[in-house]
Amino acid sequence: MDLLNTLVDKGLRRELPTREEALAVLATSDDDLLDVVAAAGKVRRQWFGRRVKLNYLVNLKSGLCPEDCSYCSQRLGSTAGILKYTWLKPDEASQAAAAGLAGGAKRVCLVASGRGPTDRDVDRVSDTIKAIKDQNEGVEVCACLGLLSDGQAERLREAGADAYNHNLNTSEGTYADITTTHTYADRVDTVQKAHAAGLSACSGLIAGMGESDEDLVDVVYALRELDPDSVPVNFLIPFEGTPLAKEWNLTPQRCLRILAMVRFVCPDVEVRIAGGREVHLRSMQPLALHLANSIFLGDYLTSEGQAGKADLEMIADAGFEVEGADQVTLPEHRAAAAGGGCGSHESAGCESPESAGCGGHQSAGCGSHEGGGVCGTAAAAPVSTEPRTDLVAVRRRGAGTDLAPNA
């Protein structure tokens, strides 16, 4: 397919595809899906080999958020039966982080619900960062605390934070449809503050909220222009008790096409599969490792994830390896300088919360169906369009509970 050959060539050169090419990836048929995955996989392997970076979320403060983000189980007015608790103490957060690090994670993502941190909150998180780093040599720490005020990013950096996550979530044109208590421009401003403070910026999106292909391309192109080191791709978890509870718009094939498009647009950036992979990719999760080079290990903020042991087995069975703490995530040309980007600058340099993936979603970090089979000439069995509500499980273990975490 000429389109895929062109996209591979551009990806290996870190050249931006045209919008028409990006849209064409999302419009490919299920018969061509494995070809799309194979093509994007060549770009992924060029810049990241067969390594998979593991990240681990710690929800420092759960629920009771004053913002009205429609996708989020922690939002104002949510009736989702999630855990609700105030700030974890530094030692509690450090203990929670230790479980993920023992499971192979190299980055810990510290997330707190809310519009943004007060200066006292920054002090709390700074103490937590120091506690984690004192007990775990070489660990990366990413903070995800909402909108930042002037000077707060610098304080987090001084405390030892390596990265800051704040997702754009959707296109500028549709942002007001999902959130009214802050703006798209507010989110852009926070990512820029993180960049300016020398933090590795992490910013991504949520797919499956009813957006169009054009919206998806818009937000990914906006991310490339913002130049984050990592781009978490969340797939909406439709929590009962939230306005988007009925938005079951994704198939495994659709998710793979979205990840492939992100890889082609951001060829040498850390692409992380974040919230919702278990719910929407399901048995096709291993194929997604050919597109993304990073995942979250274990549970998310308010929802349960795949068992940590199953994550590790999946990575090994698919022929990939867990990235070690001594390995640099990003390609040399990006890791050479602080705060590089999504591949749009030939001289870009950076490091890689995770998200970096956290970032304000119900599950990952705060979360047009083609149907049909994957490939082949024979008629495939139709894909069920029934919502898989059985796969949405509220987190009842780990941070904020007396039960052991999933890691």
> What are 268-294's pLDDT values in tens digits?
999 999 999 999 999 999 999 999 999
Dist CA 307 CA 105 (whole Å): 14
Is the residue at 405 inside a domain? no
Contact 80, 303 (CB under 8 A): no
**What's the confidence (pLDDT) of residue 342?**
53
Residue 255 counted as an annotated binding residue: no
Is the residue at 207 inside a domain? yes
Helices (H), 136-212: 152-159, 175-178, 184-196
Contacts of 137 (CB under 8 A, 6+ apart): none
Q: Point out the residues of the chain with pLDDT beneath 70.
A: 337-385
Is the residue at 297 inside a domain? yes
CA count, 13 A, side-chain hemisphere, 209: 25
Is the residue at 407 inside a domain? no
pTM: 0.89
209 secondary structure, DSSP code: S
Contacts of 211 (CB under 8 A, 6+ apart): 170, 171, 174
- DSSP bridge partners of 234: 206
6 secondary structure, DSSP code: H
Q: Which of 277, 271, 296, 297 is nearest to 358 (CA)?
A: 296
The CATH number of residue 83's host domain is 3.20.20.70
**What's the confidence (pLDDT) of residue 346?**
39
Instruction: Name the domain count of the chain.
Output: 1
Residue 375 counted as an annotated binding residue: no
Is the residue at 387 inside a domain? yes
Residue 69 counted as an annotated binding residue: yes
The residue behind tokens 């169009």 is 212
**What's the confidence (pLDDT) of residue 73?**
85
Is the residue at 69 inside a domain? yes
Residue 65 counted as an annotated binding residue: yes
Contact 323, 209 (CB under 8 A): no
Dist CA 291 CA 401 (whole Å): 34
Contacts of 196 (CB under 8 A, 6+ apart): 153
Domain span including residue 309:
2-372+383-391
Q: For residue 256, what are its two tokens? A: 């793979």
**What's the confidence (pLDDT) of residue 337?**
60
Contact 148, 117 (CB under 8 A): yes
Q: Which residues are catalytic?
A: 65, 69, 72, 109, 142, 202, 272
Residue 109 counted as an annotated binding residue: yes
Is the residue at 87 inside a domain? yes
Is the residue at 26 inside a domain? yes
Dist CA 42 CA 304 (whole Å): 32
**What's the confidence (pLDDT) of residue 370?**
36
